Amino acid sequence: MVEEIKSPYQEGGFQLNRLNSLMEKINFLNLNLTAFNDDVEQHNYQVKFDCLNTLFSEVAPLIQKDEKKVADRYRKSINKFLLYNNPYKEKKVVKGWGTLRRELLFSQKNFELLKNALYGYELFVKGLLHRYFRSADMTPGEHGEV
């Protein structure tokens, strides 16, 4: 006879820790989105976008098709915006004595547009989290899982 042993491992607890950690990080990054993050060698708005994508991946298996389409539109449009309208543009500038230097130029207009898009994406993802993870006493099958 084989005795079934239950593991003390609880995925739900680890998932809540991941969610909490990501949301704390996003809230901290919101304090200064234009700052350069030396740890990951990106600006904080790029780090925030990555964190939002990771946060979305936590809830993605539970959501509806139309919600996935909305998230895809957010991701694609923000990616495209960062590719073509990044708030920071590198420009080569000729200085005295013919010296070529690189300067970072900042576009406040592009930053405001990006900030608003990231905020919309953040509200959307947090809304999904609230909808699908709001109570600890959800029963299996409530969100489509078997």
Is residue 40 helix, strand or coil? Answer: coil
Q: Average the pLDDT over each of 3-7, 23-27, 132-136 and give the range with the smallest value.
A: 3-7
Report the pLDDT value the prediction gives residue 139, as an integer from 0 to 100: 40
Give the tens place of pLDDT for each residue, 52-92.
999 999 999 999 999 999 999 999 999 999 999 999 998 88
Mean pLDDT of 115-120: 98
Report the pLDDT value the prediction gives residue 141, as an integer from 0 to 100: 42
Residue type present at position 97:
W
Give the residue ranges of DSSP H helices in the chain. Answer: 11-29, 44-59, 65-85, 108-133
CA 101 to chain centre: 33
Mean pLDDT of 108-116: 98
- Whether 143 has a pLDDT exceeding 50, the answer reads no
Mean pLDDT of 34-43: 95
User: What are 76's two structure tokens?
Assistant: 């694609």
User: Can you give the pTM of this predicted structure?
Assistant: 0.81
**Which of 66, 62, 40 is closest to 129 using CA atoms?**
62
Report the pLDDT value the prediction gives residue 104, as an integer from 0 to 100: 86
Q: What is the chain's mean pLDDT, rounded?
A: 87
Give the tens place of pLDDT for each residue, 44-53.
999 999 999 9
- Whether 146 has a pLDDT exceeding 50, the answer reads no
Report the pLDDT value the prediction gives residue 107, as an integer from 0 to 100: 96
